Structure 1
Amino acid sequence: MAKKDRIYYGWVVVVAFLFIGIISYGINYSYGVFFKSLLQHFDWSRTLTSGLFSSYMLLQCVFAILGGWTLDRYGARIVFILMGFFTGLSLLLTSHANAPWHLFVSYSLLLAIGIGPIYTVTMATAARWFVVRRGLALGIVGAGAGLGIAAMTPIAAHLVSTYGWQNAYFIMGLVALATITPCALVLRKTPTAVTPLADGESLTDTSHVVSQKQNPDGSDSFSLIQAVKTRNFWLLLSVWFLYAFCLHLVLVHLTPHAIDLGTGPMKAATFLGLIGGISIPGRIFMGRFSDIIGRKQAGIISALFMAGAMLLLAVGSKLWLLYLFSVIFGLSYGGIDPPIVALIGDAFGTRHMGVILGVLVVGWSAGGAAGPALAGYIFDVSGNYVYAFLAAMVAMVIATILIFLVRQSRR
């Protein structure tokens, strides 16, 4: 029997990705905190203010694909070193923007280079290090998004109210430079650089699991071309579009919506922080739960609760309903991600998962661009977000149906 490592190195990778995610996702999802300040400073409509974030999301997909391609060939370390540099540079330049086009270059373009590959690279790499506990590992890595929202949105709100939005971006840029690159330096290229066995287990311990989930070295994995020819690929691409449509609509417009209802800016930001904090147990629990009850079942449950939360947001305007929405949405948003990503690994294998995830992120980026833009347009036309929130509810109902249709076998 092979001797187990005292601490399996895959867990070191998971912790590094967790900290990288806290900073990157915290920056990414704090845009709603800056929304009103940008709206007033540049005298924009909500459609145009949303368009800045939407253009960033569209550009993300390009660099998600490039990040996945680079990961498959050169490993995660070089990708994250570049990401740390461009994220910091983006925010430092954004802090000095004095014209709208400056923001579209410094924020939309450069931040897309810096943060665009985050999801693809962290999830694909973590999936390669695990088979037995893949759902749990992905849940912990994904918790970086929740922690980032929970930590960074109130901090960003405090910085904006105290120092102004430009100085707030400058400080966040320095934080990105000081944290992401050091975390990247601990990463190694492949699991086989440490142990050839998945999850650090002996062959005796895991042989029954490997036989169920295919070979951990990816010998049964799909190439990108093979994956694109399957129904599963297009179903999952559509699910990600709809999920991102709903999620980013909320993350960009929930804070200005709360302010419109009479909530102060600091308290309005706490709703995003609550969503992020509550999503953490949702991610970890549902990631592990998906290993037990199945990826599809876990994804369906989470998608249905997201739809219900959006209905609540559309019909409720009381403060306590915003808190209730934040709790339900946070749990379900946290819960849907790990089983869906684990389902991708189960369906296509992990050898080419970097580039496959990168291409699937096209759907994610398109949805993340469409949701905020549509909500901004609806507000400019109608003066409220009711129909935008209902559209997000319908999107998640459709996503539930598509998850049900995904086949879990590879052939």
Structure 2
Amino acid sequence: MLGLCLILLTMTYGIRFSFGVFFQPLQEDFGWTRAVTSTVFSAYMLLGAVFAVLCGWIADRYGPRIVFLAMGFLAALGLGLSSRVDSFWQLLLSYGLLVSAGNGATYPLVASLASRWFKERRTLALAISTSGVGLGSFLFPPFSSLTIDSYGWRTSFLILAALSLVITTTCSLLLRRHPSERALPSEEMGPYQGGSTPNAGVGGISGDFSLSRAMKTRSFALIGAIWFFYSLCLFMVIAHLVRYAIDLGVEPLQAASVMSIMGITSIPARISAGILADRFGRRWVAIVCAAVMAVSMLWLTLSSGAFMLYVFGAVFGAAYSGLGPSTNAIVGDTFGVRHLGSIMGALEVAWVSGAAVGPALAGYVFDSTGSYNAAFNLAVGASLVIVVLVVVVTRPQSKDTSPTVGEISG
């Protein structure tokens, strides 16, 4: 099951991180500005939040197989149609809408699926399955660049469409629900024992929160804020790091390699963080990772050359990748796993909002001041806010929506 989740995320994030490779040829062929071309990806990200909520709701009721089958078809259709576009609005519909419908919900669905199947070592399971993010960002951009150079961007879109259809469909047919989900879930809550879903059987079903009930709690708002600030920092770096490095006088190839270092580092870091989180507590690992993110962003403001940027890429890549599975596991610990697909889909709205605000904020700051330092310092503060939020998030009481006094060991 973990292997299937990893492959699905590798495909999704391979497509997502490859858009930057298509950026220049699309500009050259159609004469679009950077702002216009970027709008397609912004629409893709924003619409992904809508589809995450919808797909999470469907998966909670009918299982993941039918959802991923439909998503695989839509992603392939969108990529195939993208190879035939002749105008901006056509690409906005084919890529911004259809491809978003095809893979915008993959991460929360994979996270909820892994959480359902693995209770005792949930964070490690999430770390392994979500390593597809780093693997996809490492493998697919150079592959797409090679196919564009050899056959053109239209054919490259078609190749991605074929890969998405074959890989996603094959994995979807092999997916299945946890056996315990065949029983009707209980709505009664029991006392929280800490660390894992309370009163849960093997699959963690009894006493889990529904989406509507979870959204009424303070913990839901706090976790949403964690995801927002986390995404803000991450996508600020993804969008502007290469440009920042070039501004420092680093060669473009070296600047791009910083992103590769982030991707490579993230894979072992996710797994290591998962092992440590299951042993010492999810919250402690999340706190450490968020604090290291803050330090690395401060380091970025002081960087003056390629070597310092390479160090940043390695440290930041390890920190952000370790924070992901830890915070995902906290969601399952807080609300249970029965309705985790729809709950994570709703939280995806906060994630996508941060992804939209971070790059735009950094761009505005640079245009206003001629420097990224103020934006990066804001990211330092955002990372420290995550530390505080992780400390105060607790599982709500059984009979009301106020949080309990939980322990930091999570």
Which TM-score bucket, shorter chain as reference? 0.7 to 0.9
Which of the numbers 3, 6, 10 marks the counterpart of 1:22?
10
| Structure 1 pair 324–167 and aligned structure 2 pair: CA distance change class (3 A) | farther
Mapped to 1, the partners of 2:297 and 2:98 lie a distance apart of: 32
Q: Which residue of 2 aligns with 1:61?
A: 49
Are positions 1:141 and 2:126 aligned together? no
Mapped to 2, the partners of 1:381 and 1:91 lie a distance apart of: 37
Mapped to 1, the partners of 2:19 and 2:381 lie a distance apart of: 24
Q: Which residue of 2 aligns with 1:300?
A: 287
Secondary structure at 2:214's aligned position in 1? helix
Secondary structure at 2:394's aligned position in 1? coil
Q: Which residue of 2 aligns with 1:290?
A: 277
Q: Which residue of 2 aligns with 1:215?
A: 200
Q: Amino acid of the residue matched to residue 301 of structure 1?
A: V
CA drift of 1:251 comes to: 2.2
Secondary structure at 2:174's aligned position in 1? coil
Which of the numbers 80, 85, 91 marks the counterpart of 2:68?
80
Which of the numbers 359, 378, 395 marks the counterpart of 2:382?
395
| Structure 1 pair 392–103 and aligned structure 2 pair: CA distance change class (3 A) | farther
Give the alignment of 1:321-340 within 5 angstroms: 321-340=308-327
Secondary structure at 2:43's aligned position in 1? helix
CA drift of 1:333 comes to: 1.2
Q: Which residue of 2 aligns with 1:316?
A: 303
Secondary structure at 1:313's aligned position in 2? helix
RMSD: 2.7
Are positions 1:279 and 2:258 aligned together? no
Mapped to 1, the partners of 2:88 and 2:369 lie a distance apart of: 25
| 5+ residue gaps, structure 1 | 1-12, 196-207
Q: Which residue of 2 aligns with 1:103?
A: 91
CA drift of 1:218 comes to: 1.6
CA drift of 1:86 comes to: 1.5
Q: Which residue of 1 aligns with 2:159?
A: 171
CA drift of 1:55 comes to: 1.9
CA drift of 1:405 comes to: 1.6
Q: TM-score, normalised by structure 2?
A: 0.86
1:76-130 deviation digits (Å, cap 9, x = unpaired):
1111111111212222222333322222211211121011110121111111111
| Structure 1 pair 154–64 and aligned structure 2 pair: CA distance change class (3 A) | same
Relative contact order, higher structure (CA 8 A, sep 6+):
1
Mapped to 1, the partners of 2:196 and 2:296 lie a distance apart of: 39
Q: Which residue of 2 aligns with 1:204?
A: none
Mapped to 1, the partners of 2:78 and 2:41 lie a distance apart of: 14
Are positions 1:120 and 2:105 aligned together? no
Mapped to 2, the partners of 1:125 and 1:370 lie a distance apart of: 29
CA drift of 1:137 comes to: 0.7
Mapped to 1, the partners of 2:376 and 2:139 lie a distance apart of: 25
Mapped to 2, the partners of 1:374 and 1:94 lie a distance apart of: 29
CA drift of 1:344 comes to: 0.7
Give the alignment of 1:240-251 within 5 angstroms: 240-251=227-238
| Structure 1 pair 263–78 and aligned structure 2 pair: CA distance change class (3 A) | farther
Q: Amino acid of the residue matched to residue 274 of structure 1?
A: I
Secondary structure at 1:30's aligned position in 2? helix
Q: TM-score, normalised by structure 1?
A: 0.86
Mapped to 1, the partners of 2:194 and 2:69 lie a distance apart of: 35
Q: Which residue of 1 aligns with 2:350?
A: 363
